[in-house]
Structure 1
């Protein structure tokens, strides 16, 4: 009887110990994944080194004049020029215009699908061409965003 009690007690203690170890492993696993157990946080490239240089007033004026052409801060502009990164002017404005065109084309297709617009004989052909155009716009924008990544 004492052996049964002792064996049962040892068995129960080992189960509790295994449960604690499993819970600790789970905590460590989620700690590794992130605070709330989500995806790992991306490593952020921090700009932690400071370099100061001296330039003349005329050099500064030229630098400011060149920097104003781009929608960038002066430090970002200098960093991009220094590391010969590609400077793009009004890149996002063209993307916005294309997105607006896509939205307008979608509105036109919705209008054409209404019963009031049955006047057109080639309504299906117009809808098909507009949908193809919308698809081309989206493919262009998504391919451009994938290149940037």
Structure 2
């Protein structure tokens, strides 16, 4: 009986040890994956230079009024004006609106495909026009991104 207990204890200890080693190997494997790749880190240019300027109260108020039109911090707004990037701020808003339109049109076309909407005689024509419109929206947005690259 002593041998059985001893043998059972040794088997149990080796199983626990193997499980612990396997867990450590798994942990190291994922650490290596993290080092090798995964998602690319964003290349954020650090803004480490500080420039201070003096201006009158009226100039500051005008600057604040112009900045409030855009959802940007004051320093970002000034940087965009300095490097003539101000016009690109509104482009993203139109792109977001176009993307929303595209998703809404897709939802409409999915609804039209249901059996409940057999009332429309020209359902297929409506679906074709919606698909063409979605294609044009995507084509416009992708051509715009390719121009920016």
TM-score band w.r.t. shorter chain:
0.5 to 0.7
Rounded Cα–Cα distance in structure 2 between residues aligned with 1:69 and 1:132: 35
Rounded Cα–Cα distance in structure 2 between residues aligned with 1:111 and 1:132: 17
The residue that corresponds to 1:81 in the other structure is: 81
CA shift digits 1:56-86 (9 cap, x unpaired): 2122112112212222211111112222224
Rounded Cα–Cα distance in structure 1 between residues aligned with 2:43 and 2:105: 40
The residue that corresponds to 1:36 in the other structure is: 35
Structure 1 gap ranges (5+): 1-30
Bigger shift: 75-84 or 89-98? 89-98
Q: CA RMSD in A?
A: 2.5
Bigger shift: 131-140 or 90-99? 90-99
CA shift digits 1:9-41 (9 cap, x unpaired): xxxxxxxxxxxxxxxxxxxxxx9xx95201764
Rounded Cα–Cα distance in structure 1 between residues aligned with 2:137 and 2:92: 14
The residue that corresponds to 2:4 in the other structure is: none
| TM-score, with structure 1 as normaliser | 0.65
Structure 2 gap ranges (5+): 1-31
| TM-score, with structure 2 as normaliser | 0.65
Matches within 5 A, 1:9-48: 36-38=35-37, 41-48=41-48
